[in-house]
Amino acid sequence: MGKRIIIIGGGIIGLCSAYYLEKDGHDITIIDKSEMNSGASYVNAGYITPSHIIPMASPGMISKGLRYMFDSSSPFYMKPRLDKDFIKWAWYFKKSSTIEKVEKAIPLIKDLNVLSRELFMDIKASGDLGNFHLERKGLLMYYQTQAEGDHEMLVAEKAKFLGLEVKQLDAAGIRKIEPNISVNAIGAVHYECDGHTTPNEFMQKMKNYLEGKGVRIYTNEEVVSFKASNEKIATVETTKNVYKTDDLVFAAGSWSSNLAKKLEISLPIQAGKGYRIDVKEPTGITMPAILMEAKMAVTPMKGFTRFAGTMEFSGINSKIRKKRVAAIANNASNYFKGLQISQSDRAKAQCGLRPVSPDGLPYIGKASGYRNLVIATGHAMMGWSLGPITGSLVAQLISNSKTTLDIKALHPERKFK
């Protein structure tokens, strides 16, 4: 007999968890504090990225953060502030940013992404969501300097060693693969293993599918408290209602840390703000790409081209910094000759908050103090790519079945030594 399961959070992780839990026969309720039409799951680059094998917590990132700290238009920005949670997170981040820890994380990140890519393909093949945009063109890493190219080739060699499909392109190769626009780059690494989607479309079709299957979705409800006994959470109280539950899933992204505090669980997370500009006019861009020196993404989506990027640590807020929007638009013009992003498109820029753990690995697992609580958050820039595999793992954890792969390293209460 199915369980009553409440999922807190209606982003890609929450919806994919509901997708697999519903298939296991459970009774699902999703609660979200927003309208569920904006945020990180809607403004991301739409990448499915087995190629993204390096966690954000890597050697040199702290020094970059310090260097960029007083430049609010930089691609990696940490707003200086005296905040206990931020300082603790930054210390854990520094301890995680070692070569040894990065090398240990790489195979797990690769396996998670490959499995998730196949699950994306399975969802499409199932027809559950109808026809939605999903392509396997790969991902181009454009570089304008040889130093950046050499750095990416080191990553490419690791990716090849792990069995991923990678090619190197010179300027002529770029012109051949992207003939309709002139790219200002001396070369590119082509990760043929990657794919891309249109997030807004996928999210809406997933919501429609889940509601058609009887999943209840409540928006504009904020969770305020929990009641527990015998190491089990019994009820969830929101600003509008009280819900009984057999099992509970935390998939609230950057807000998960505040929720965890209500249960006296420490879950170090910082919100990493990303921005996007959508251009509906034809751009000639047909290939997903990352502009390496600019640290930003370009994705041809269904009906528009998306320019996205930056990682801003300034707390939980939705403030749009015009300098950062301008930097994205200007960098796009620098890499694509003749491309100009209008002031109108810039004015419609949106942002989303990505939940970033200190070591760049997601939190996926059961909380030790509560037998019926599963935590699924902290995916940083890989949240979209890892949506399906995370949802599948959540369903396996709730069913007490063997997980698809060993996820001990993802335990929500792991120590950052």
Residue 241 has pLDDT above 90, yes or no: yes
- The pLDDT, as a whole number, for residue 67 is 65
How does the average pLDDT of the chain come out, rounded?
Answer: 95
How much is the average pLDDT of 215-226? 98
What are the pLDDT digits (tens) for 185-210?
Answer: 999 999 999 999 999 999 999 999 99
- For 345, the token pair is 């498109």
Other Cβ atoms within 10 Å of 283 Cβ, number? 19
Q: Where are the beta strands (DSSP E) in 79-181?
A: 134-135, 139-143, 166-170
- The pLDDT, as a whole number, for residue 115 is 98
How much is the average pLDDT of 31-37? 97
- The pLDDT, as a whole number, for residue 310 is 87
Residue 283 has pLDDT above 70, yes or no: yes
What are the pLDDT digits (tens) for 100-123?
Answer: 999 999 999 999 999 999 999 999
DSSP alpha helices (H): ranges in 12-83?
12-23, 40-43, 61-68
How much is the average pLDDT of 152-157? 95
Residue 263 has pLDDT above 90, yes or no: yes
How much is the average pLDDT of 378-389? 97
Dist. CA 216–CA 219, nearest whole Å: 10
- The pLDDT, as a whole number, for residue 60 is 74
Q: What H or E segment, with its residue span, contains residue 229?
A: strand 223-229
Residue 3 has pLDDT above 80, yes or no: yes
Residue 339 banded pLDDT, cuts 50, 70, 90: very high
Contact (CB, 8 A) for 416 and 359? yes
What are the pLDDT digits (tens) for 54-107?
Answer: 898 788 776 666 666 667 677 777 787 889 999 999 899 999 999 999 999 999
- The residue extents of the domains of the chain are 4-410
- The pLDDT, as a whole number, for residue 68 is 62
- Please check whether the domain covering 4-410 is classified as CATH 3.50.50.60: yes
Dist. CA 243–CA 226, nearest whole Å: 10
Of 71-80, 163-172, 174-183, 215-224, minimum mean pLDDT range: 71-80
CA distances from 108 to 158, 162, 194, 203, 355 (A): 13, 11, 17, 26, 19
- The pLDDT, as a whole number, for residue 74 is 76
| pLDDT more than 90, % of the chain | 90
- The pLDDT, as a whole number, for residue 264 is 95
